[in-house]
Amino acid sequence: MNVDGTPYRTLWLAEPGCVRIIDQAQLPHRFAFLDLRTPEDMCAAIRRMNLRGAGLIGAAAAWGVYLAALRHADAPDFDARMRAEADALLATRPTAKNLEWAVRRMERALAPCLSPTERRDVAGRAAQEISDEDADFGRRMGQHGLALIREIAARNGGRPVNVLTHCNAGWLGFIDYGSALAPAYAAFDAGIPLHVWVDETRPRNQGASLTAWELGHHGVPHTLVPDNAGGHLMQHGKVDLVFVGSDRVTANGDVANKIGTYLKALAARDNRVPFYAVFPSSTIDWDLADGVREIPIEQRDPDEVRTATGWDEEAGRVATVRLCPPATPAANYGFDVTPARLVTGLVTERGIAPATREGLRALYADLHAP
């Protein structure tokens, strides 16, 4: 998508052996890049959240495997070394399914008996394929979601369609286009009047820092609200539909996403507002059924809850401020699970399915031979 008129992806191969990313840890206060040259660089970038988002974590892990393949291509114990590198990548973030999916796909690409040169080539091509597919899937999800926005726009008689979103499942969370925001971009680009309510998404504020930033740079009308506001907005008819992303979807349609998503799904149900999860098929965990019980939920540093980071105008720098007394303990669960019963539909690169086992299987019948 565009940053001040220039099209960008979130991650690209700058030169052989050098993966360049938009450094999201510096947004929205500074638009800067970060060069990653080793698998350790990539693990650190994922763990420190210089890049984040379901799709982007997947693509980044693929490029991590590529960097590992460059390093170990000549080693006689290539497979063993690559397994260790893969394990390190898999350990960076536990909830996102896309990460595991991408690493396994890279492993399959590198599984045949290959020469050192072939290993380097295959790894680069496979990682690029995952990147391109992620961007293409974003575009497709946007088109499928656009149909839902069009329907509402047709009923609204010129009143802007009000979308609410939580966290950042925009293009910054993928290689391009995004998942939850892809329909909003598609609608905006198609000239449909549209407004996005942006949950700030504590504790890391990825709504305030990333979603507001990317919508603003693309020109999409939006308003930042506290995570507490969505219920009130829905009670008063100010939300036409909710689009959220996902980090892992079970085979029966339970949706893990940034903590707080479940609360918005409950409010949507209580106010008859359609609630859609938008994600590529790489997010689906076909092995899990009960999301609340089975999806591992990352617990992060409590200091993220105890503090907030932003721009200190007075000091002219980014600062971190503590919001609570010095000794206050905090808990920091990264995700929650929205049960399928609260989800109006699942939007994937192949179309829109009901949030049921049958719905998902019908879209992906080829992956599930009877």
Residue closer to its own copies (CB basis): 287 or 313? 313
DSSP element (H, E) containing 322: strand 317-322
Contacting residue, 314, 316, 366, 370, with its own copies by CB under 8 A: 314
Query: What is the pattern of x (binds its own copies, CB under 8 A) and - over residues 243-262?
Result: ---------------xxx-x
Within residues 3-32, the interface with its own copies by CB under 8 A covers 28
Nearest to 206 by CA among 334, 302, 322: 334
Asked if 221 and 194 touch (Cβ cutoff 8 Å), the reply is yes
- Output the CA torsion sign for 53, 55, 61, 63: negative
Q: Which two tokens stand for residue 111?
A: 């599984």
Lay out the site mask for its own copies across 213-242 (x = CB under 8 A, - = otherwise): x--x-----xxxxxxxxxxxx-xx------
2 near its own copies, judged by CB under 8 A: no
CA-CA-CA-CA torsion for 345, 296, 93, 143, nearest 10 degrees?
-10
**Candidates 52-60, 92-100, 205-213, 278-286 — which segment interacts with its own copies by CB under 8 A?**
205-213
The yes or no reply on residue 353 touching its own copies (CB under 8 A) is no
**Integer Cα distance of 259 and 336 in angstroms:** 5
Q: Say how many residues touch its own copies, by CB under 8 A.
A: 66
With binding defined as CB under 8 A, does residue 356 bind its own copies?
no
Q: What is the DSSP letter of 344?
A: S
247 is catalytic: yes
Strand bridging mode 194-199 / 222-225: parallel
- The residue from 9, 105, 202, 248 that contacts its own copies (CB under 8 A) is 202
CB of 2 to its own copies, least distance (A): 15
Residues 280 and 314: beta-carbon distance below 8 Å: no
> Of 41, 227, 247, 285, which residue is the catalytic one?
247
| 253 burial type by CB count under 10 A (0-12 exposed, 13-18 middle, 19+ buried) | buried
Work out which of 24, 162, 209, 283 binds its own copies, going by CB under 8 A.
209
Q: Is the peptide bond before 28 cis (omega within 30 degrees of 0)?
A: yes
Which residues are identified as catalytic?
A: 247
Site of interaction with its own copies (CB under 8 A):
28, 200-203, 205, 208-209, 212-213, 216, 222-233, 235-236, 258-260, 262-264, 266-267, 270, 292, 297, 302, 305-315, 318-325, 327-333, 335-337
